[in-house]
Amino acid sequence: MPETKFEPWKDPNEKPLIQFKNVSKRFGTFTAIDNQSFDIYAKEFFALLGPSGCGKTTMMRMLAGFEAPTEGTILLSGRDIAPIPPNKREVNMMFQSYALFPHLSVWENIAFGLKRDKLPADKIAARVDEMLKLTRLERFASRKPHQISGGQRQRVALARSLAKGPKLLLLDEPLGALDAKLRQDTQFELMDIQEKTGTTFVIVTHDQEEAMTVASRVAVMDEGRIVQIATPDEIYEAPNSAYVADFIGDVTLFSGTATNRTPGAKTPVMESPAVETTPEEAETPETETVETPEAVAEIGVPAEPEAPVAPETTTPAEPKTEAAPAKPAHGPQPNALGLWLHDKVWAKVFGPRTDIVRQLPPPSDAERKPKPADPETVSTETTEIPEGGITIDWAEGQPPLIALDGPEVEDGQHVQLALRPEKIGISKTKPDAVNALKGKVIDIAYLGNLSTYHVELENGTMIKAQLANTRRISRRDITWEDEVWVSWTGTAGVVLTS
């Protein structure tokens, strides 16, 4: 991600390249795009992300000119593009199937668009060579599309769509046909090319990881609406709805009723959670004015107050992670020379042991002090909890959850607390954290660089916690059926009101 603060969307003087103004698209009675307005700025790498059928492809096809909006206007550099046919637009598209002309060579494919512009032959040749160089395809210029690999075809399609130097390049699931490894490399290549050419890219994808990797901003779509437009880190760290939180990465959602906390409220952290009740202070009526609400939900439809239900645990496909703090280096010794041998030698050949986790010897948990999950708060956080925020009553017999930041809520409002697995700590003794819940390890998913623990609370709720595997497996001490504490800080979760 370009970290050099490229943020034209924050500059009020910046003129957007693309403007969607109240655009709707209906096919018969089906509404594909529902009254959407948003801007895309020049040189942006803008991602339209959503599940299939959410309207993202329709959005792109309207930009390309293959579909016309039913209502509203789309402006390109301030001009309405509705009357401009696709072959006259300064917009080019890279198709999902690549749509390379099978009867033409790589060179002719790239030259195809330039020839339509009736450019002189030497200019065409120069431009094609430039494109071949950009995409490192010089050696394949005379091959036909069926004589090159999938990755090379992808690059030909990119070169062909870039050859005319469009104002806007549309990419329709450009990496969908590539295998995982190649896809990663190509993502960086795409970003590189985008930066080199300075072209505005709009990418359509259903792969959240891909969108977050390449894009400067991501628009998460659902059923014809854009739910949130934000930078990848904002989307991940501060989703504005349960839908976005759930769609991007892995998340545990707690639903419950919110109560504003009194300033300076203390939570009896050391109390046993099974008997813990809502702190009295939290229920005092004068706390309706909240002091510290900073992040305000953008598309916030207040949820209908439902009865607090048991939280849903959701399992999106691939966890997007940052490393969670490692467990303290204390644990069982490798109990056999063979294990050592495997880790040292065979692991390089056959890969790490995956079966061994089940055989972890019991930990010696007594003497060590557990750490809270979030390293930033380690030093400051004791039993004293900063003032402000809300408590969330979410289940009978479970302590209320404390969220120190988040949107303004009313007492009794139905909210959801979204927690990323890597923000949740897991320990064998009760940690010194704002939120701590007791449970049992049901499942451990070993992913190599990290492990995901599925912890079942006493009321049956499943929580996912993720730890980076900074230690060798044999030295980790949490295993199946262990009684553990999951904990997180007051700022780890995101409070969602919709």
Partner 1 sequence: MRRVALIIVPYLWLLALFLVPFAIVLKISLSDIELSIPPYTPQLDLSEGWEGIKAFFAALDFENFVFLTEDDLYWKAYLSSLQIAIISTVLTLLVGYPMAYAMARAPNHWRPTLLMLVILPFWTSFLIRVYSWMGILSTEGYLNQLLLSLGLISEPLLILNTNVAVYIGIIYTYLPFMILPIYSALERMDDSLLEAAEDLGCSRLTAFWLVTLPLSKNGIIAGCFLVFIPVMGEFVIPSLLGGSQTLMIGKVLFEEFFNNRDWPVASAVAVILLLILIIPIVLFQRNQQKTREAEG
Kindly list the residues in this chain that would bind partner 1 in the complex (CB under 8 A). 64-66, 85-88, 91-93, 95-97, 99, 101-103, 112-113, 116-117, 146, 160-161, 164
- Return the number of other C-beta atoms located less than 10 Å from residue 36's C-beta: 20
Residue 109, number of CB atoms within 10 A of its CB: 25
Q: Least distance to partner 1 from the beta carbon of 82, Å?
A: 16
Q: Distance (Å, rounded) from C-alpha 152 to C-alpha 145? A: 9
Tokens of 205: 């994808």
Q: Return the H-helix or E-strand segment holding 422.
A: none
Cα dihedral 297, 299, 304, 308 in deg (nearest 10): -40
CB contact at 8 A, 268 and 384 = no
CB of 5 to partner 1, least distance (A): 33
Closest to partner 1 by CB, 78 vs 102, is 102
Rank residues 94 and 437 by Cβ distance to partner 1 and give the closer one: 94
3-class DSSP state of 67: coil
Please state the closest distance from residue 89 (CB atom) to partner 1, in A. Answer: 8
Backbone CA torsion sign across 108, 113, 119, 123: negative
Smallest distance from the beta carbon of 25 to partner 1, in angstroms?
A: 17
Supply 246's token pair. 């759930």
Tokens of 332: 């069982």
* Nearer to partner 1 among residue 155 and residue 371 (C-beta): 155
Least distance CB 104 / partner 1 (angstroms): 8
Q: How many CB atoms lie within 10 A of CB 430?
A: 16
Nearer to partner 1, 118 or 369 (CB): 118
**Least gap, CB of 36 to partner 1 (angstroms):** 23
CB closer to partner 1 out of 64 and 409: 64
Structural contact between residues 159 and 130, judged by C-beta atoms closer than 8 angstroms: no
3-state secondary structure of 179: coil
> Judged by CB, which is closer to partner 1: 140, or 236?
140
- In terms of CB distance, is 197 or 284 closer to partner 1? 197
Minimum distance from residue 93 beta carbon to partner 1 (Å): 5
Based on CB atoms, which residue is closest to partner 1, 70 or 96?
A: 96
* Strand 45-49 versus strand 71-76 pairing type: unpaired
What's the closest the beta carbon of residue 141 comes to partner 1, in angstroms? 18
Tell the smallest beta-carbon distance from residue 164 to partner 1 (Å).
7
Question: Ramachandran region of residue 173, left (φ > 0), alpha (ψ -120 to 50) or beta?
Answer: left
**Strand segments (E) across 124-216:** 168-172, 200-205
3-state secondary structure 355-411: HHHHHCCCCCCCCCCCCCCCHHHCCCCCCCCCCCCEEEECCCCCCCEEECCCCCCCC
Question: What length does the chain have?
Answer: 498
Q: Quick one: 40 or 163, whose CB is closer to partner 1? A: 163
